[in-house]
Structure 1
Amino acid sequence: MDQHEEQEFAEYFAAKRDSVRRTAYMLCGDWHKADDLAQTAFVALHRRWRKIRDRSATDAYVRKTLVRASIDESRRPWRRERNVDVLPESVAAGTRFDERIVDREDLLAGLRQVPPKQRAVLVLRYFEGMDVGGVAKALGCSEGNVKSQTARGLAKLREVLGGSELAEQRETR
């Protein structure tokens, strides 16, 4: 890349790094992994910077790269294992979802338990504010797939937020 292109990339990076990092965090729930995902997305963008004709599509390219990197990372077998020092105790019977307040930590813990593709759809739809068509384009799938993934993801999130899985995690904090 020539000096002008490097300067353009540097300006784009400076303007977007925080929002890309936040989106990555919403996808994975861990700031260290979010940094890795954001770095992966920006490295991929840097490699193709010269080939990008439509600079207005750059955000979509970064978002798509970020989501794909998150899904790829979640497929690695060592990511599925979690070591804990103490086994969580069971939830007291009679605890109702509407009797407790769902805070940010609960939401992020719940999102971590939603499958990666459904989590990506939920983050893009509700945290990035994209419409169904935009999410479908970003993920390279049909609008019907986005709708079904959204419905399944919300159902799983409701189940986790109202079920014992989240309460068990809260006990181990």
Structure 2
Amino acid sequence: MDDEERFRQFVRDQWAPLLRTAYLLTGDRGTAEDLVQSALEKTHRRWARIDTPLIYVRRVMVNTATSWWRRRRAIEVPLVASDAVAGSDAYLQVEQRQQLLAALRRLPPRTQAILVLRYFEDLSEADTARVLGCSVGSVKSQASRGLARLRLDFAHEAPAQLQEDPC
């Protein structure tokens, strides 16, 4: 199989997992698709020289998402109040997932990338460090701080949910 066909097969096999990772990094399906396309385009240029394509693509995605986040940060629109407050409807699990994604998006890009790769993609600490080009200790400390911030975000939201929930 030639390089071009190997790349096509890689895209077919990895599109869904890469799209999921991109969504968790960006919080928007359209932006996630753009991120995967951009990362695959950058990967295709160097395909013949890449030893571990999945790690390479993930690293490109994290770096590109961070770059986009930095450029866009000044023009972001604040969340609508309904996005930040949990409703007292029967879809509590869906609401909590949305809150988690919103809290994840409020973290710094590097911490966000570590949590996505480590806990959503279920990579080991060593694999996460390899993808991000940092030490295992850095992954551990940033993951710990990121989880602490997420716990703090949910600790503040939990009392409001208990008061609103009539059950």
Answer whether TM exceeds 0.5 for this pair.
Answer: yes
Q: Hey, what's the Cα distance between the residues in 2 that align with 1:149 and 1:85?
A: 25
Compared CA separation, residues 86 and 62, structure 1 to 2 (3 A): closer
Q: How does 1:52-131 map to 2 (within 5 A)?
A: 52=50, 54=51, 57-76=52-71, 78-83=72-77, 103-131=96-124
Q: Hey, what's the Cα distance between the residues in 2 that align with 1:160 and 1:86?
A: 17
Q: Which residue of 2 aligns with 1:96?
A: none
Q: SS of the residue aligned with 2:75?
A: coil
Gaps of 5+ in 2: 86-91, 161-167
Across the aligned residues of Structure 1 and Structure 2, the Cα RMSD in angstroms comes to: 2.5
Q: SS of the residue aligned with 1:122?
A: helix
| One-letter amino acid of the structure 1 residue matched with residue 131 of structure 2 | A
Q: Which residue of 2 aligns with 1:171?
A: none
| TM-score, normalised via structure 2 length | 0.79
Q: Hey, what's the Cα distance between the residues in 1 that align with 2:80 and 2:15?
A: 37
Gaps of 5+ in 1: 92-99, 168-173
Compared CA separation, residues 10 and 151, structure 1 to 2 (3 A): same
**Number of aligned residues:** 150
Q: SS of the residue aligned with 1:130?
A: coil
Q: Which residue of 1 aligns with 2:14?
A: 16
Compared CA separation, residues 84 and 127, structure 1 to 2 (3 A): closer
| TM-score, normalised via structure 1 length | 0.77
Compared CA separation, residues 160 and 11, structure 1 to 2 (3 A): same
Q: Hey, what's the Cα distance between the residues in 1 that align with 2:30 and 2:127?
A: 28
Q: Hey, what's the Cα distance between the residues in 2 that align with 1:51 and 1:43?
A: 14
**Is 1:148 paired with 2:146?**
no
**What percentage of aligned pairs have identical amino acids?**
41
1:110-151 deviation digits (Å, cap 9, x = unpaired): 111111111100011101111111111111111111111101
**Is 1:40 paired with 2:38?**
yes
Flag the structure with more relative contact order, 1 or 2, with Cα contacts below 8 A and sequence separation at least 6: 1
Q: Hey, what's the Cα distance between the residues in 2 that align with 1:84 and 1:13?
A: 35
Q: CA deviation at 1:82?
A: 3.1
Q: Which residue of 2 aligns with 1:25?
A: 23
